[in-house]
Amino acid sequence: MDTQIILIGLAGVLASSAPIVFATIGETFAERSGVINLSLNGTILLTAMAGFAVAVTTNSLFLGFLAGAFIGGLVALIVAFSSITLKQSQVAVGFILALTCRDLAYYLGNPFMGLQGPRVPSLPIPGLADIPIIGVIFFQQDVLVYASFLLIIVSYVFIFKTRPGLMLQGIGEKPATAFVRGANVNRMRYFYTVLGGMLAGLAGPMFSLSVKAGWKGTISGLDGFGWIALALTIFGGWNPLRAAFGAYLFGLLQWLGLVLQPSLPNIPSQVLQVAPFPLMILTLLLVNIGNAEWVDRTLAALPEKTRKGLANVLRALRTSPPASLGVPFENE
Amino acid sequence: MTMMKTSSRWSGIGFQALAVLLALAFTTVVMLISGADPLQVYQNIITGALGSPTKVDDILVAWTPLLLATAGLLLTFTAGLWNIGIEGQITLGAIFTTWALRVLQPTDLPPTLIVAVGFLAGALGGMFWAGLVGLLKIFGNVNEIFGGLGLNFVATALTIWLIFGPWKRPGVGSMSGTEPFPLELWLPTLPGFRLSPLALAMGIIAIAIVYILLRGTYFGLRLKAVGRNGRAAFLMGIPTTRYMLMAFLLCGLMAGLAGATQVLAVYHRLIPSISSGYGFLGMMVAMLVNYQALWAAPVALFFAALNIGSIQLPIVLKLDSSLSGVLQGSLVLFVLLMDGVRRRLTRS
């Protein structure tokens, strides 16, 4: 294969993964604070439709993205209100919203199906874009892709290197301790859940105004990305860098599926498109199995050398959720 | 004490009525946003559901797999498990049934026997897929929501591959599905209707069995203990993992039967979206009835009616039929929210 084609392909992987990066990092913020927002799949579909509809009607890309962030934040607010204030099951409310927002998107998006809409223009960065190899992959993108690079770095630094970030870790791990040290746990959980929802709400217009421009109802091919983002949050171990790595890996697999398609004429394209899902289960198995009790027991029975080697591998892969993920907090 | 109980029951009903009103109000607003006339839409849904004997027949046809799915889900929910993988379990049931029929069709076995084996295969298919989710959860620590979701996508891909690959129609494969089975392999229906009384009976029996299991048996009691507090149940000597796996397998069995009825009684072939979303709809039903088997059957019937009633919306009013999903979803959401509001008010 031509090198140029490979480079453009890799640039495409970075671009098509950008919405997943946004959604996954948004969910990472929410879950770091202790709240699971399971509505992601519905959020992405609804904001993709709404962002497109607003951009078409007003002819403003900016308003399209604003609508996405607003609706994403609103959906997350329902999750936060029902779980933090009303103490209802986060998983139940999130699941209901995932389905309801999807149906809302299909219902309200009906008149906008197949319309021609504005599209985020590509914006090569002068100077950097001409660097061989790197320039093509990284610097001939649109502004959203640059924003996704920035988001990865900023959110990583925020969570692990700043005081508010440490506080965020605290309210997800040991909310009682954080509360004693002056954190308003529930208010912060509201804030990060809504912030996460707004980031996920940008993912929708990123699809419908850039990566998969347009709105085509049920055949838009966007159903499923939200669930992927939720799985990638776990795969990423609630760390933006690792989560972004997962998102790019997933994008790469999807691209490989497309590239390999012509050489595998017996396999329908729909099959290759879902190839990442079994891999998703496998990776979740790899990152979780180290937490299982029977693994410890089995390892203990092995000879010293094998045991240490295996234990190290499992430890490197393993991720553990924030200790209070999904647990309501009462300050009494 | 008794007075408080009755008053809290009345307030409970009051909040539920309020929830229904809010859901209707929300859906009406959604209709107005789309520029539709709400009265006209509601009228269309009602006539679309009850306008003729054929429509009522269609509701009962949709009710059958929904009952089976909901019945199974009540068991997994009781064990504290989120069996989102149910869509894939229905699909695998349909695939296994189709497989059995394809293998046995050329033999000279009596058709009744082939159909019976088809049901059995469907049940096994659903159990196989549910068992995978259970094993991943119990031995791999993979949360059942993600294991199940992943397997849902795999099941869909498997269906499409079969339809376009090994099981394609003579000539060229198409999204319309595999070659239809001959008439003698169709589940008998009432003359002139699509409903198979046998399939419907299976759905009703399933929900009745689950009701009895959860209501009056040792198994149901222990399953509840596992769902309420797994750790405590384990310390009390209940083999928690075995009970969880059992809940998955029983749910998979009923989901598999739902898939089998879709093949044997409705489509008579394998189609790409064979589960028709009944698994997820069953989860909504189970949540709406607060996981109580008694109310599951009528609510499932109502949801089936909404689905059938909205089918003609695109034709008559040029509206998308997903409106029924909006109404169903907002009903469940507002009932949950109002329940939270009521608890919060009574607490303080």
Over the stretch B282-295, which tens digit does the pLDDT of each residue have? 999 999 998 888 89
**Listed ranges A183-187, A269-273, B200-204; the one with the highest mean pLDDT:** B200-204
**Beta-bridge mates of residue A122:** A142
Instruction: Choose among A283, A261, A281: nearest CA to A272.
Output: A261
Q: Which residues of A touch B157 (CB under 8 A)?
A: 270-271, 273-275, 277
A40-44, A282-286, B244-248, B334-338: range with lowest mean pLDDT: A282-286
Instruction: Report whether A101 contacts A42 (CB < 8 A).
Output: yes
pLDDT at A305: 80
**B160 and A91: CB-CB below 8 Å?**
no
A232 CA: distance to closest CA in chain B (Å): 10
Residues 91-150 in A contacting B (C-alpha not used; CB under 8 Å): 91-93, 95-97, 99-100, 102-104, 106-111
Q: Going by C-beta distance under 8 Å and a sequence separation of 6 or more, which residues neighbour residue A200?
A: A22, A23, A26, A27, A37, A40, A43, A44, A47, A72, A76, A226, A229
pLDDT band at B2 (very low <50, low <70, confident <90, very high): very low
Q: Which distant-in-sequence residues (6+ apart) come within 8 Å of B240 by Cβ?
A: B226, B230, B233, B234
CATH ID of A3-289, from 1.10.4160, 1.10.10, 2.60.120, 1.10.3470: 1.10.3470
Q: Which residue has the tokens 């240490």?
A: A308
User: d(Cα A234, Cα A243) in Å, to the nearest integer?
Assistant: 8
**Average confidence (pLDDT) over A65-85:** 96
The DSSP line for B125-154 is HHHHHHHHHHHHHHHH---HHHHHHHHHHH
Q: Is B63 exposed, middle or buried (0-12, 13-18, 19+ CB in 10 A)?
A: buried
**What pLDDT sits at residue B201?**
95
Average pLDDT over residues A304-320: 79
User: Using a CB-CB distance cutoff of 8 angstroms, which residues of chain B are in contact with residue A91?
Assistant: 82, 145
- Hey, where are the domains in chain A? 3-289
pLDDT of residue B5: 56
Cα B10 to chain center, whole Å?
Answer: 30
- The number of residues making up chain A comes to 332
Out of A96, A108, A277, whose CB is closest to B333? A96
Residue B45 pLDDT: 93
pLDDT value of position A1: 55
At position B131, the amino acid (one-letter code) is G
Tell me which range, A13-17, A215-219, B116-120, B321-325, is most confidently predicted by mean pLDDT.
Answer: B116-120
- Give A132 to chain B, closest Cα distance, Å: 39
> From the CB of residue B158, how many other CB atoms can be counted at a distance below 10 Å?
17
**Local confidence band at A245 (pLDDT 50, 70, 90 cut-offs):** very high
Which of 229-248 (A) contact B at CB < 8 A? 230-231, 234
**Mean pLDDT for the stretch of residues A109-117:** 89
Q: Are B30 and A107 an interchain contact pair (Cβ–Cβ within 8 Å)? A: yes
Nearest to B105 by CA among B1, B41, B178: B178
pLDDT at B164: 86
Cα dihedral B324, B125, B88, B132, rounded to 10, equals 140
Task: In whole angstroms, give the CA distance from residue B87 to residue B317.
Answer: 30
Minimal Cβ distance to B30: which of A108, A227, A267: A108
Residue B75 and residue A100: Cα distance in Å, rounded? 24
What one-letter code names the amino acid at B240? Answer: T
**Token digits of residue B135:** 């094993």
Nearest CA in chain B to A80: B337
Q: Which of A150, A149, A153, A124 lies closest to A139, judged by CA?
A: A124
Average pLDDT over residues B221-235: 87
Residues of A in contact with B333 (CB under 8 A): 78, 93, 96-97, 100
Q: pLDDT: is A313 or B248 the higher one?
A: B248
Neighbours of B172 (CB within 10 A): 7
Look over chain A and give the mean of its residue pLDDT values, rounded to a whole number: 88
Chain A stretch 174-213, residues whose beta carbon is closer than 8 A to a beta carbon of chain B: none
- Choose among B147, B154, B325: nearest Cβ to A100: B325
> Could you say which residues from 19 to 48 on chain A have a Cβ atom under 8 Å away from some Cβ of chain B?
38
Mean pLDDT of B40-52: 92
Residue A99 has its nearest CB partner, among B30, B323, B325, at B325
pLDDT in tens, B118-169: 999 999 999 999 999 999 999 888 889 888 988 998 898 899 889 988 898 8
Q: What is the pLDDT of residue B1?
A: 39
Collapsing DSSP to helix, strand or coil, B347 comes out as: helix
User: B259: exposed, middle or buried (C-beta count within 10 Å: 0-12, 13-18, 19+)?
Assistant: buried
Name residues 262-281 of chain A within 8 A of B (Cβ).
266-268, 270-271, 273-275, 277-278, 280-281
Q: Average pLDDT over chain B, rounded to whole?
A: 91
Q: Which of B145, B163, B167, B290 to mutate against chain A (most A CBs within 10 Å)?
A: B145
* CA–CA distances in Å: residue A38 to residues A30, A204, B46, B145, B146: 10, 16, 33, 10, 11
Per-residue confidence band for B348, with pLDDT thresholds at 50, 70 and 90: low
Give the lowest-confidence range in A150-159, B23-32, B167-176, B309-318.
Answer: B167-176
CB neighbours (10 Å) of residue B161? 18
What pLDDT band is residue B6 in, cutting at 50, 70 and 90?
Answer: low
In the predicted structure, residue A86 carries a pLDDT above the cut 70: yes
Q: CB-CB: which of A96, A107, A266 is closest to B320?
A: A107
The minimal CB distance from A93 to the residues B140, B336, B343 is found for B336
Question: What is the chain B residue with the closest CA to A90?
Answer: B336
Mutate to test the interface with A, among B322, B327, B339, B343 (most CBs of A within 10 A): B322
> Who has greater pLDDT, A220 or B63?
B63
B67-92: per-residue pLDDT in tens?
A: 999 999 999 999 999 999 999 999 99
Q: How far is A45 from chain B (nearest CA, A)?
A: 13
| CA dist list (Å): A167 to A36, A184, B135 | 18, 10, 37
* pLDDT at residue A67 is higher than 80: yes
Would you call B326 and A107 a contact, using CB atoms and an 8 Å cutoff?
Answer: yes
DSSP secondary structure letter of residue B197: H
For A27-31, A112-116, A298-302, B79-83, which range has the lowest pLDDT when averaged over its residues? A298-302
Average pLDDT, stretch A191-220?
93
Question: For B346, which residue in chain A has the nearest alpha carbon?
Answer: A86
Looking at chain A, the whole-number percentage of residues with pLDDT higher than 90 is 49
Higher pLDDT: B347 or B299? It is B299
How far is CA A239 from each of CA A21, A157, A159, A245, rounded to the nearest angstrom? Answer: 12, 10, 8, 10
Q: Please report the pLDDT score of residue A332 as a whole number.
A: 52
Interior CA angle at B54 toward B52 and B57, to 5°? 115
Q: Amino acid letter at B163?
A: I
Chain segment B158-209, per-residue pLDDT in tens: 998 899 888 988 877 777 888 899 988 898 888 888 899 999 999 999 999 9
Rounded CA separation B81/B283 (Å)? 12
d(CA B46, CA B308): 9
CA of B340: which chain A residue's CA is closest? A86
Q: pLDDT over 90 for what percent of chain B?
A: 68
Listed by start position, the domains of chain B span 1-36+320-348, 52-318
To the question of domain B52-318 being in CATH 1.10.3470, the answer is yes
Neighbours of A183 (CB within 10 A): 18
Q: Closest approach of chain A CAs to the CA of B153, in angstroms? A: 6
Report the pLDDT averaged over residues A169-198.
91
